[in-house]
Amino acid sequence: MRVGRVDVRPLGGAAGCLTMILVSILLSVALTVVLNLLTH
C-alpha cells in the first residue's frame, strides 16, 4: 500500500495484526480525548 511517496508494508502474522489493532485503539482514544478537551 502506498501513501504518498512512502511504501507502507503491513506487518505479517499475529504481531502485525495486534499492532494494527493497538494503534487503532490508541488513535480512537486520543481523538476522543482531544474532542472532549475542545468541546469543554
Q: Does 7 score more than 70 pLDDT?
A: no
What's the structural domain count of the chain? Answer: 1
Contact 8, 1 (CB under 8 A): yes
pLDDT reported for residue 13? 72
In this prediction the pTM is 0.58
Higher pLDDT, residue 17 or 37 = 37
SS3 letters for the chain? CEECCEECCCCCHHHHHHHHHHHHHHHHHHHHHHHHHHHC
The boundaries of the domain holding residue 35 are 2-39
Query: 26 Cβ partners below 8 Å, 6+ apart?
Result: none
Dist CA 6 CA 16 (whole Å): 18
